[in-house]
């Protein structure tokens, strides 16, 4: 089995069309202690980052929901779908081939990695001033769903190494689009200002991030309205939990 080819093919079947791999030490030397892979998998030699750009993954999710009544009523239906795809279609065949493989996710209560840092190191995205990483083709319409820790060495980075579009952007339309004035250059995303605005349930941010929508990168890859609303409302729920916890 060619490990990387298996991962790419299996992931793409479900719209997970962003995949890259880097040696574990490339991440370990820059990661904060709480986010290192050594404590999770001491044998880890490579990290494979799996994500999606555009709407293919959401369409695969909606197909799954239509075929499985009651799935969307779960507490975290998209996260559960992610786990199902990754564990069954990708991880299980790798483990059956005798390779140690541990999946880590950016959600849930398990071990955590810095997925934004991983995505940039792996050449799948670059930084932006709107608080999310961006891709040369998909713009801000990307998400990273899982990382595989392998005991085999693979070095297959993506093509976005060094991608940093905001300093040379001629419009920065995201700044004026933010109703909370929480985006600026070069400071970037003002998290407290954004959070305070959204906690007050302002309707202008209820179903989408206006700054993200205004980004000039990847307009044709923008999430559909129902996907935008799904992510935005769940992010608001997390913001409220955090906000009232620290108050």
Q: And the tokens for 190?
A: 């003002």
Whole-angstrom distance, CA of residue 19 vs CA of residue 7: 8
- Among residues of the chain, what percentage have pLDDT more than 70? 96
Find the range with the poorest average confidence among 19-23, 71-75, 145-149, 200-204.
200-204
| Whether the predicted pLDDT of 242 surpasses 80 | no
pLDDT on residue 238: 81
Whole-angstrom distance, CA of residue 59 vs CA of residue 84: 16
pLDDT tens-place string over residues 193-216: 999 898 886 788 989 999 999 999
Average pLDDT over residues 142-169: 98
| Whether the predicted pLDDT of 244 surpasses 90 | no
Whole-angstrom distance, CA of residue 108 vs CA of residue 26: 25
Whole-angstrom distance, CA of residue 27 vs CA of residue 117: 8
pLDDT tens-place string over residues 9-38: 999 999 999 999 999 999 999 999 999 999
List of residues 6+ apart from 20 with CB closer than 8 A: 48, 49, 122, 123, 124, 156, 157, 158
CB 222 within 8 A of CB 213: yes
pLDDT tens-place string over residues 91-136: 999 999 999 999 999 999 889 999 999 999 999 999 999 999 999 9
Q: Is residue 1 very low, low, confident or very high in pLDDT (cuts 50, 70, 90)?
A: low
- Look at the pTM and tell me if it is higher than 0.85: yes
Q: And the tokens for 23?
A: 């040696």
Whole-angstrom distance, CA of residue 147 vs CA of residue 86: 10
Average pLDDT over residues 207-228: 97
Average pLDDT over residues 39-66: 98
Whole-angstrom distance, CA of residue 116 vs CA of residue 144: 8
Nearest to 21 by CA among 113, 187, 203, 154: 154
Rg of the chain in Å (alpha carbons) = 18
- Mode of pairing for the β-strands spanning 101-104 and 183-184: unpaired
Residue owning tokens 């404590």: 39
């Amino acid at each position: 089995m060619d490990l990387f080819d298996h991962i790419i093919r299996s992931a793409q079947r479900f719209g997970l069309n962003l995949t890259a791999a880097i040696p574990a030490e490339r991440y370990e030397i820059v990661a904060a202690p709480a986010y290192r892979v050594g404590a999770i998998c001491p044998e880890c030699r490579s990290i494979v980052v799996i994500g999606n750009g555009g709407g293919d993954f959401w369409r695969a999710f909606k197909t799954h929901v239509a075929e499985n009544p009651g799935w969307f009523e779960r507490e975290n239906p998209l996260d559960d779908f992610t786990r199902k795809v990754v564990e069954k279609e990708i991880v299980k065949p790798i483990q059956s081939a005798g390779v140690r493989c541990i999946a880590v996710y950016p959600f849930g209560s398990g071990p955590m990695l810095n997925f934004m840092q991983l995505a940039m190191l792996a050449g799948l995205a670059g930084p932006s001033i709107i608080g999310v990483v961006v891709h040369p083709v998909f713009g801000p319409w990307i998400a990273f769903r899982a990382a595989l820790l392998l005991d085999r060495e693979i070095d297959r980075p993506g093509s976005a190494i060094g991608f940093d579009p905001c300093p040379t952007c001629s419009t920065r339309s995201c700044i004026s689009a933010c109703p909370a004035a929480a985006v600026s250059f070069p400071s970037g995303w003002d998290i407290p200002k954004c959070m305070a605005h959204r906690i007050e349930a302002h309707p202008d941010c209820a179903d989408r991030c206006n700054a993200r929508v205004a980004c000039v990168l990847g307009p044709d890859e923008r999430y559909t309205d129902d996907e935008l609303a799904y992510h935005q409302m769940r992010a608001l729920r997390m913001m409220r939990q955090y906000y009232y916890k620290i108050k």
